[in-house]
Amino acid sequence: VSFIIHMEKLRMKILVENKVPFLHGLLEEYADVDYAHPDEITPQRVRDVDAMIVRTRTRCDASLLDGSRCRFVATATIGTDHIDLPWCAARGIAVANAPGCNAPAVAQYVFGTIAALRPALPMTAHTLAVIGVGHVGSIVARWARSLGMRVLLCDPPRSRAEGGTQWCSLADAAREADIITFHTPLTAEGPDRTLHLASEEWMLSLKRKPLVINAARGPVVDNAALVRALDRGLVGDAAIDCWEGEPHISHALLERAAVATPHIAGYSREGKWRASQMALDALTARFGLPHIRLAEDAPLPAPDSVTASAVAASYNPLLADTPALKAHPEQFEQLRNDYSLRTELH
């Protein structure tokens, strides 16, 4: 009896954002679990939680967590720019993310976009610049080479750390690329600042009227400058999945973008599986719980190579996603939250 009473006192409380899939019912044996819509995650709601599993729409900073007993946040996303990492670290709140979870899905989005917007040209006709060669960029580069594309790699942090001759500069990309795709994190300060990395000055230097794709973070590309570059003919087409000011996006850019989607480039069923499993693994390791596996089958790894026909058949952003957002930009969040998860390219 005393042991049971002791365990009840130790029973933890976990808040799970209810838009994180596959987790319902898995943690109840070990904790009291509160599933909350993103709009319902308030300071009062989190005051007595020990841990949270969230997505990018839950801003984890002093305004939410000050006064809470929360000591662990797992985000089922690659990015962490919605979390005030220094503030959390100073207060002993550990943070875990899910690096690479949706990388194959984003690569599928990139090549589905290229196939949709450049159907008359073979893939071998393109020079592709990959800006940011991490989990996503590495798959994009690998698939591009398998399709016979000329590939330029731009990643200053990796270039400094690894050396070698395989790297190009942002200026090289502006001069030589027919397609430029961004896959960097968002950093506002420091030598590797990516806020408005695609700046107006950089767009003025573009030589080949490229297709510009942003499936990274909205502010990596200066949205107002991109509209002007499109109007001037400096950019041939724009494919925008990540926007400044989400969910209140630029209507001028929405009108001018050839592909416009509500931040769903990484929204595959497999990507969501990886993200949820990684968040669950981080939480159970942190609190010494048994390993828990999602009921869904684990996804296959990303292929090393793809074909142009398979890419085109697997996803076309012009069929449903772009028309839906252009027709109802005010429903950005709803379109994102209710998105039908697609199947990755295998």
Query: 13 - beta bridge partners?
Result: 32
Closest CA to 213 of 193, 184, 189, 241: 241
Which two structure tokens, joined as six digits, stand for 32?
């009291």
Catalytic residue, chosen from 57, 196, 263, 336, is 263
Under 8 Å between Cβ of 239 and 259: yes
251 as an active site residue: the answer is no
The C-alpha atoms of residue 66 and residue 219 are separated, in whole angstroms, by 27
The C-alpha atoms of residue 262 and residue 243 are separated, in whole angstroms, by 8
Catalytic residue, chosen from 176, 246, 296, 333, is 246
Alpha-carbon torsion 14, 96, 284, 135, what sign?
positive
List, as one string, the DSSP characters of 104-132. Answer: HHHHHHHHHHHHHH-TTS-GGG-EEEEE-
Catalytic residue, chosen from 217, 274, 336, 342, is 217
175 as an active site residue: the answer is no
How much of the chain is in helix, strand and coil states, percent to nearest 5? 40, 15, 45
- Cα→Cα distances 221→97, 157, 174, 229, 289, Å: 23, 19, 14, 12, 42
344 as an active site residue: the answer is no
Residues annotated catalytic, as ranges: 217, 246, 263
